[in-house]
Structure 1
Amino acid sequence: MSAAVLLLAGWTVHGSAQAQAWRVVPAVKATATMSSNVGMQAADAASMDTVLTVTPQVQLLGTGPDYRLTGTLAADMVQYLGRSRADRILPRGQVVLNSRLVDRLLFVDAELGADTTSSTPFDLLSDGATFYNVGTTTRERISPYLDRELSPSSRITARSDLVWTQGRGTAAAAALTNSADALVQTHTARYDLRPEPAGLRGEVNYQNTNYSDSAAGGLTLQTARLSALYAPDPTLTLGLTGGRDAARYTTNNVSETLRGASLRWAPTERTLFEALLEKRFFGNGWTVNFTHRSPFMAVSAGLVRQATTYAARLGVLQAGGDVATLVDSILQTRIQDAALRQIAVQDLIAKRGLPNTLTGPVDLFSRTVQLQQGANVTLAMIGVRHTVTLRVFQTRTEDLRGPTEDSVIGLASDATQRGATFGVSRRLTPETTADLSFTRTKTDGLGPNVALHSSNSIVRLGATHSLSPRTTLSGAVRHQTGSSTLIGVNATESALSVGMLHRF
């Protein structure tokens, strides 16, 4: 963990000393939310309160001949004026470093991240303004790797990812265990012979997840693949794969033959479709992804069935729901400079009242290997006056366990999560924008969690007004309903919020 921190700090100092290209954009946002049921409790236990949230934040972009550092750092300082709940400080953000130590050979990536996440999908969904049922998960990553081009058509890579994660799982898991802190080690070696039209790929992967308070040797997933590739034209690559697949978790130690097929189709630089179908130790597995962008739209869709762990997914499951990433892909054609595009992205999000993230599934904690199967579609459209965002998802997770092993209720990940979020904004005047959004989620427990269910609905109507190029006012009304068998509550809430964002 300290290695990633020191590496980021060292490169920051180095970049400043060499007077490289740096851009730092500080900002502060203040929001007051008046809620009729600040903790989403049953009607007889509901309490009114006003929540004041002050969020200082800073955006970073630094580039030099051998490195690039990007990131956003923020902290939500939450105060309940009526003292209905304890005040909190919730850090969030991400800083990513990409560096080159030896030209065309040795590189190092590093990351520091923090997210405000719901503790369990079986509880009521947090609205992002009153901050109930949320906690902070943090991660530190350092990734040294070799990348060497052996010839114009062949390449060899070797990469190690060391990721430290800190965060609680479900409420029951937090009560029964010390923590869900973990170290995830992923090591990959790969050889590629570009198909012209025939090619070859060999790959070995090893992943170990070790929880800090676990006496066991951790959870291990290993694969070795050899793929024959064929490219009938430059936009299409087909592959057949064979190899070995192994896993060690709880009392299980399995090893199976791996076989499968792959397809990669990139008709243009803006459109990509990739599919991998394999026979794995857990049965059939697949990863299918589609992305397309244009100057006015970005869309992505994915299907997945894979073996994974809670700690390995932490901070990754929400991929596809980051609004800044969607807007950035749309603006790539119009704004080539990354620094100017980063400013334009944040300016558009602020002035059009867009959320920072689109609602997605919640990570469920368990101490074994999990089978994850899911589908999602994400869309963003930006017009002269209108902006539309959409995300639809379904994720099913199940613990992999032996025939004589039982899961403890609250410590199992077995559940199906479904949800959708839709938002539309319209620019009324050059300075004023109105927005409307709707979010619906539903979670049903499976296996040991079969008695657990929850559902949440949120409707929000808001408006933003630009006082100046750097200052934006916002206001919104919101109504939320939810039910949860975990806490035995059916609750409703109405809220009014006002806020101001100023970028220095």
Structure 2
Amino acid sequence: MTRRARQKTAAFEWRAIRAMALAVTPLVGIPSMALAQSDGSGRTWTLSPAASLRQTLTDNYQASSDGESDAITQATVSVRLLGTGSRVRGSLEYSLSSLLYARHSEENDLQNTLNGVGTAELVDNWAFVDLAGSISQQQISAFGPTATDPSLASGNRSETRTFSVSPYIQGELGSLARYEARLNYGVNRSSSFSAANSKSTGGRLSLRGGDTQRTLAWSMSASRDTVDYDSGTSTETDTLRGTLSYPLMSSLVLTGIGGTEWTDLQSPEKKSYEIAGLQLDWVPSERTKLSARYEKRFFGSSHAVSFTFRTPRTVWNFIDSRDVSTGGPNGRSGGITVYDLLFQQFASAEPDLLRRDLLVREVIAIYGLNPNSTAIPGFLTASPTLQRVQSLSLALMGIRSTVVFQATRTSSRQLQRATDTGDDFGASNSVHQRGFNANWSHRLTQQSSINTTLGWVRSTGEFSSQRTSVRSLSAGWTTRLSPRADLGVSARYSQSSGTTQFTERALIANFGYQF
């Protein structure tokens, strides 16, 4: 990335972060240097700064067939803001990493990571605004080098930024129904793959009435969604949908779905298509939830199945969906992270969201887990796609051992056939990915633990030249030096075959401190 491009990227990121902060801070009223504050009315905010130093010795710093060695020093500063309150609630995590390459200084870089969501109540019980933002390192092509470590200088990686804002109003129309009117604006930006840049706008008006706990419930909604890609593609979809729900029993609700949508996602001009479907929701307890929806849509059949089951020491998640994806990394959205799994696991043990977050992060630090781990990395697209995602995740918490397993399979194809998008669909109409991560961690003492992770990802296209398979194995030891300091060492081995071939071995040492 050129200096000018990097400056433009940094300016964009900080404008977005500042906008989110300015929208929240006046309503929260928290001192900028406060580590924790409660106003006595249930509002609690915590601010947690941290820093870490990571040293990597690798024999293949670019994850390429040439295999040149290097020593990579990564210094990271981060801040985490969490809060719940009567008017504002949300979380914000931001980190800035400086990467220094001992033998290849031209690769020195800065990497940003951001995950933030929040809701602010602007007018009591009427006007609200939702904010969300993320910055992450994403894989550009499913068939290019798949680096298991973002510090490796892979040319198949791009810093991707996604921000959205959604103001809305909601209220009641007497005793007849509840209404909600919402506007949406979102932007996706990629530092090294501008074809994936897009902007989305839209709005939605919905009405709901009845009570599924006692009798029939109904809903009606009208929406418009527009997506503009920098590559020139522009799509627009209008949807009118109605539902009618009936409780077959206290824990089982059946819903009928009908409507019409007008879209140009599969043709140059807008065409109308009927929507018809059914949905079944089963919630026998707070620990077991099943939702299954089937619809007839303009692209054929659409479905979404999700199942969650947890016990005091296990949590199971299954997702199976087929729907349109209009932006972001294809495939990755289907799987949940290790943090998500453990956050669900401790729902009964700690109902308070802030304390549960601290508990989950404590477990992650003790066992040396990667909170953002997913089964497959996904890839960037420059046009709308039809995506099928199947994902199975589970976590088993023992007295001293923890097992986390994630498996995902995706199948994606371009909705509007085009050859000039610059992404993987320029040469292949469909891309298939499947992979898994299996992690075993064992606590040796109150302060230290060992862990090992086995991963595998395979990507295939329509042609024999589009085949890439990556296997990785890592093992490490983590110890808590003090309540605020952690030290870890690990070793990693990765091997890629097919379209992209390389092997990589690395030794890593990491020191982290929580202020």
Fold-level match, TM-score > 0.5?
yes
SS of 1:344's equivalent? helix
Q: Deviations over 1:189-244 (max 9, x none)?
A: 22222333222221223221112453x6x112332222221112221110122211
Q: What is the match of residue 475 of structure 2? A: 461
Counterpart CA distance in 2 for 1:24 and 1:422 is 32
Residue 12 in 1 paired to residue 12 in 2?
Answer: no
Q: Which residue of 2 aligns with 1:28?
A: 51
Q: Are 1:271 and 2:288 counterparts?
A: yes
Unaligned runs of 5+ in 2: 1-11, 32-36
**Post-superposition CA distance 1:285-327 (Å, at most 9, x none):** 1111112234322221111111221x2x459943543222222
> Relative to 1, partners in 2 of residues 1:329 and 1:30: Cα closer, same or farther, differing over 3 Å?
same
Does the residue aligned with 1:318 lie in a helix, a strand or coil? helix
Q: Retained in 2: the 8 A contact 1:361–1:395?
A: no
Counterpart residue number, 1:398: 413
In the alignment, what sits opposite 1:358? 373
Matches within 5 A, 1:276-295: 276-295=293-312
1:302 paired to 2:319: yes
Give the 5 Å matches for 1:172-321: 174=193, 178-193=194-209, 194-195=211-212, 196-212=214-230, 214=232, 218-249=234-265, 251-309=268-326, 311=327, 313-314=328-329, 317-318=332-333, 320-321=335-336
Q: Deviations over 1:447-504 (max 9, x none)?
A: xx6631111000111110111111111011111100242xxx4211111111111111
Amino acid at match of 1:458: S
Please report how far the alpha carbon of residue 3 of structure 1 lies from its aligned counterpart in structure 2 after TM superposition: 7.8
Q: 1:93 aligns with which of 114, 129, 149?
A: 114
2:184 to 150, 156, 161: 161
Of 102, 123, 128, the match for 2:144 = 123
- Residue number in structure 1 paired with 2:166: 143
* Range 108-117 or range 121-130, more displaced: 121-130
Q: Is the 2:331–2:389 contact (alpha carbons within 8 Å) kept by the matching residues of 1? A: no
| Shift, 1:97, TM fit | 1.9
> Paired residue for 1:40?
63
Paired with 1:97 and 1:477, the residues of 2 have a C-alpha distance of 37
In 2, Cα distance between equivalents of 1:460 and 1:227: 49
Matches of 1:85 and 1:457, distance apart in 2 = 29
- Residues 137, 150 of structure 2: 8 Å contact kept: no
* Contact in 2 for aligned 1:37/1:46 (Cα 8 Å): yes
CA shift at 1:361, angstroms? 3.7
TM normalised by structure 2 equals 0.87
CA shift digits 1:84-133 (9 cap, x unpaired): 76011110121222111222222111122211212222112211253323
Contact residue 389 and residue 409 of structure 2 kept, 8 A: yes
Alpha-carbon separation, structure 1, partners of 2:421 and 2:27: 50
Is the 1:77–1:88 Cα contact (8 Å) retained in structure 2? yes
8 Å Cα contact 2:338/2:374 also seen in 1:
no
Are the structure 2 counterparts of residues 111 and 269 from structure 1 closer, same or farther at C-alpha, using a change threshold of 3 Å?
same
Q: What SS class does the counterpart of residue 343 from structure 2 fall into?
A: helix
How many Å separate the matches in 2 of 1:14 and 1:279?
44
| Mean Cα deviation higher: 194-203 or 266-275 | 194-203
The CA deviation at 1:184 is 1.3
Aligned to 2:149, the other structure's residue is in SS state coil
Q: In the alignment, residue 273 of structure 1 is paired with which amino acid?
A: L
Deviations 1:38-70 (A, max 9, x none): 22222xx21111111111111112343211131
Contact in 2 for aligned 1:168/1:179 (Cα 8 Å): no
Question: Which digits, 9 at most, give the CA deviation of each residue in 1:141-166, with x for residues without a partner?
Answer: 11111222446684222222211110
2:169 aligned counterpart, secondary structure: strand
Deviates more, 1:238-247 or 1:250-259: 250-259
Whole-Å Cα distance in 1 between the matches of residues 349 and 143 of structure 2?
43
Partner of 1:108: 129
Whether the aligned pair in 1 keeps the contact of 2:141 and 2:424 (CA below 8 Å) is: no
CA distance in structure 2 between the aligned counterparts of 1:26 and 1:151, rounded to whole angstroms: 47
SS at match of 1:468: coil
Matched residue type, 1:89: L
Percent identical across equivalent pairs? 23
Judged with a 3 Å threshold, the aligned counterparts in structure 2 of structure 1 residues 350 and 319 are, in CA distance, closer, same or farther, namely: farther
Corresponding residue SS for 2:354: helix
Distance (whole Å) between structure 1 residues aligned to residue 168 and residue 468 of structure 2: 43
The answer to whether 1:348 aligns with 2:363 is yes
Report the 3-state secondary structure (helix = DSSP H, G, I; strand = E; otherwise coil) of the residue aligned with 1:130.
Answer: coil
- Aligned partners of 1:292 and 1:161: how far apart in 2? 32
| Match in the other structure for 1:498 | 509
Amino acid of the structure 2 residue aligned with 1:145 = Y
**Matched residue pairs, number?**
484
Deviation at 1:385, TM superposition (A): 0.5
SS class of match (1:128)? coil
Q: In 2, Cα distance between the equivalents of 1:60 and 1:492?
A: 39
Structure 1 gaps of 5+ residues are: none
Query: 1:103 is aligned with what amino acid?
Result: D
Contact kept in structure 2, 1:124 and 1:455, CA below 8 Å: no
CA distance in structure 2 between the aligned counterparts of 1:417 and 1:246, rounded to whole angstroms: 31
CA distance in 2, matches of 1:36, 1:366: 31
AA aligned to 1:292 is F
| Residues 203 and 476 of structure 1: CA distance in aligned 2, closer, same or farther (over 3 Å) | same
Q: Who is 2:7 aligned against?
A: none
Deviates more, 1:376-385 or 1:247-256: 247-256
Change (3 A) 1:360 1:406: same
Mapped contact 2:235–2:264 kept (Cα < 8 A)? yes
- Tell me if 1:418 matches 2:427: no
Q: Would the alpha carbon gap of residues 107 and 459 (structure 1) be closer, same or farther in structure 2, given more than 3 Å must change?
A: same
CA distance in 1, matches of 2:301, 2:172: 34
Equivalent residue number for residue 9 of structure 2: none
